Structure 1
């Protein structure tokens, strides 16, 4: 090849390379041929593992938002890789765009309203929605936005929280002095201490190991948590206490939300609403199946004297409303 031809090829390839870098980038595989690279990428995080209803909600949201945006909005999901505490702070800072979590946003950024996520305070999910969608819930959301730089995108019903253990739990005497794994939530610790348990604060990521090595003797959580963490491998009994209406809280970083165009905001909100309603219905429809699954996995089902346990909790709850949640009273909450 002579020098003239070589020079021509080099120049031609260089021009082609520069030109290609200035064009919109399209997916290379045949399936997505002609589709542009997403204009918006949302990082969604949940502290719960795959198989938990909140991780499933995130997957459903991803499916809906990517489909309805025709690929212009992409979703990256991080499930079960970080603690509730860290995911919440990362969403507040913008390191994560959207979180699906437990009551951490309330506990950290609107603690006066944490009664929404406390044992024995809320009767059921319908009761929760009446209060959450009313003045008390609006006040809590405003504080989360002001103090935590996050906007509420909705909630998911996760079922009722139950107890696991390696012995039968029939009443308060069986709970006395049991090493109960709890998240590091001081209001929960107060209530369970009043009931008679010996709470052990362990992050969610350490739940299985704490039960396996004896750091804790028992745990409490919704059925999807018990299933997704394979607790049937380390706990023999499942006790139906229904002590807390478990709710998943979904928030989006304010800066992320404000950076979206109006049409993108509506699309994201609509997709998350559909995903959360889908997940809530899945939870309501599948509780019996989950109980059957855990029994087939080897857990023995038990029903304790729930009224006796609740009665022991009352003094702690009443004191918490006076000292921690003075924005309302237990009576006012129950009346709604």
Structure 2
């Protein structure tokens, strides 16, 4: 066999070898959640599923637990090119496009089902498009994070019961709305320090989803859980402008389909965990009680109107109307 024929034969064999005919694209997917949480496990599932459905053309590595930085760093990484995909809250998206932050306004969502119905609505498409126009980045899916409840060292039944209570709340405007409307003295203590702050009395209350209260063992130092349900919290799966623009229409559809499926899977896990935790806490001797939500909602609307946060009444009304 001549050298020329050997080279032609080798090239033909190379071209017919599966996976070698086209280059593989490596992507980075980052978030701040632990490896045991569904926001990570279902992201890993999505990465493998995208690889499978694109016949190996995309290799996605998922970096959990702030390995690539805190949430602010990850959002910046979308623009800097250090992250292709992130999971992040709407509070960060609202820094680029304030109207989308209305989804954190207390009592805007009636339930997780209402949140999910919103993600299929025209108002979601409008807000997501506004964010994409402002930032360049694309929101591909929304995952239910949990409904935020209140723990305290005394029973909380009405909004007035929080008056004067020292309460740890994340330093995010919409998160502060309910506690401040009710007269609580809020303190933005670092999340890692909350348990100790509750234990030593630096603060007397805090608010987080039941799954977080369980994971961080806040129930050990707070014997009352008030089911205030003030924020139906959620996370966005965001694809960077550069990466989204590089995808073909067919690949965009695959990415969207898989990310929506992953969000639905994670949402189901969170809902199931939450449903079981009420009884789990009661079995541990924690007082878990319903509150007068109408009283809370009325007070928030009167003392912390959404317009003061830069949100639009029309968006609020449209979301509330979603069935």
What's the TM-score once normalised by structure 1's chain length? 0.77
In structure 1, what is the equivalent of residue 310 of structure 2? 324
Task: Assess, with a 3 A threshold, how the Cα gap between structure 1 residues 195 and 294 changes in structure 2: closer, same or farther.
Answer: same
Q: Deviations over 1:12-59 (max 9, x none)?
A: xxxxxxxxxxxx9xxxxxxxxx98798222222222323333233323
Q: CA deviation at 1:204?
A: 4.3
Match of 2:168 among 162, 168, 181: 181
Q: Deviations over 1:84-125 (max 9, x none)?
A: 333222234332211112223432122123211211122223
Partners of 1:154 and 1:251 within 8 A in 2: yes
Partners of 1:113 and 1:327 within 8 A in 2: no
In structure 2, what is the equivalent of residue 64 of structure 1? 49
SS in 2 for 1:145: helix
Q: Which segments of 5 or more consecutive residues in structure 2 lack a partner in the other structure?
A: 1-13
Q: CA deviation at 1:328?
A: 1.5
Partners of 1:83 and 1:205 within 8 A in 2: no
| Alpha-carbon distance in 2 for matches of 1:169, 1:143 | 38
Q: CA deviation at 1:215?
A: 4.3
| Alpha-carbon distance in 2 for matches of 1:52, 1:216 | 27
Aligned positions of 1:76-225 closer than 5 A? 76-81=61-66, 82-204=69-191, 206-208=193-195, 210-212=197-199, 214-225=201-212
Q: Which segments of 5 or more consecutive residues in structure 1 lack a partner in the other structure?
A: 1-23, 25-33
Deviates more, 1:225-234 or 1:146-155: 225-234
| Alpha-carbon distance in 2 for matches of 1:302, 1:265 | 45
In structure 1, what is the equivalent of residue 287 of structure 2? 300
Partners of 1:162 and 1:241 within 8 A in 2: yes
Q: CA deviation at 1:330?
A: 4.3
In structure 1, what is the equivalent of residue 32 of structure 2? 47
Q: CA deviation at 1:275?
A: 0.9
Match of 1:334 among 307, 320, 323: 320
Task: Assess, with a 3 A threshold, how the Cα gap between structure 1 residues 252 and 159 changes in structure 2: closer, same or farther.
Answer: same
SS in 1 for 2:314: coil
Match of 1:228 among 215, 229, 236: 215
| Alpha-carbon distance in 1 for matches of 2:317, 2:58 | 45
Confirm or deny that 1:272 pairs with 2:259.
yes
Deviates more, 1:144-153 or 1:79-88: 79-88
Q: CA deviation at 1:193?
A: 0.6
Q: Which structure: larger Rg?
A: 1
Partners of 2:162 and 2:182 within 8 A in 1: yes
Task: Assess, with a 3 A threshold, how the Cα gap between structure 1 residues 262 and 333 changes in structure 2: closer, same or farther.
Answer: closer
In structure 2, what is the equivalent of residue 286 of structure 1? 273
Deviates more, 1:294-303 or 1:58-67: 294-303
Q: CA deviation at 1:320?
A: 2.0
Task: Assess, with a 3 A threshold, how the Cα gap between structure 1 residues 55 and 327 changes in structure 2: closer, same or farther.
Answer: same
Q: Runs of 4+ in structure 1 displaced over 6 angstroms?
A: 34-38
Q: Deviations over 1:268-298 (max 9, x none)?
A: 2222121111122223333222334444566
In structure 2, what is the equivalent of residue 245 of structure 1? 232
Task: Assess, with a 3 A threshold, how the Cα gap between structure 1 residues 154 and 300 changes in structure 2: closer, same or farther.
Answer: same
SS in 2 for 1:270: helix
Task: Assess, with a 3 A threshold, how the Cα gap between structure 1 residues 236 and 71 changes in structure 2: closer, same or farther.
Answer: farther
Partners of 2:123 and 2:315 within 8 A in 1: no
SS in 2 for 1:108: helix
